[in-house]
Structure 1
C-alpha cells in the first residue's frame, strides 16, 4: 500500500473519531440511552472505524502495539446483522473508554506517516 493511501486512511479514521466525539460531546448516558438516532449514529460510526482499521497495513498497526487492533477490526462483525442490537451500554463504553486511546494513536500514526 502506498504511504499516501495510508495517510488518507488515517485521515478518514481521524474524521470518524472526531465525528463520534462531536455528536456525543456533552451527552450523559441517560440521554444517549434514550436517543435511538444517536445510538444508531455511533453504531454506524463504529462500523466505519472497524472497516478503516481493517484496511491499515500491519506495519502501521505494529507501531501502536497497545491498541487492540484485532478487536477493533472485529467490532464491525458484532454490529451485524442489523437486527442484532448492540447493548446501549457497550456502545457508550466504547465511546468513553476505547475511542480516546485509539484517537491518540491515530494522531501519532498520522505524524509518523507524514514524516516518512
Structure 2
C-alpha cells in the first residue's frame, strides 16, 4: 500500500494534466478552478499546486481524516487526493492572508506577512 506522501507526489505530478482531465469529467468544477485561479492571478495548474500546499499546511485534523478515509475506497488514490485538496481550497473559509497568493506589489511593499 502506498504511503500518503507517495499519493501526494503522484497527485502533484499529475496537476499539469488535471485541468484538461477535469474539463472532460466535471466541466462545472473545472470552471470553478479557472475562476479561482483567475482571481488569484495564476493558472489553473498554479492554483492546484497552491491548493495542495495549503491543504498540507492549513487543513484541520478533521479534513485530513476525511481525506484518508476517502482513499481507502478507491482504485485511484492520487486523483481522489488531488480532487479533495482542490475542493477543500475552493470551499475553505479562513484567514484572508492564507487564502490568497500575495501579489508582487504586496511582497515588495511589505503588505504581506505570514
TM-score normalised over the length of structure 2: 0.31
TM-score (norm: length of structure 1): 0.31
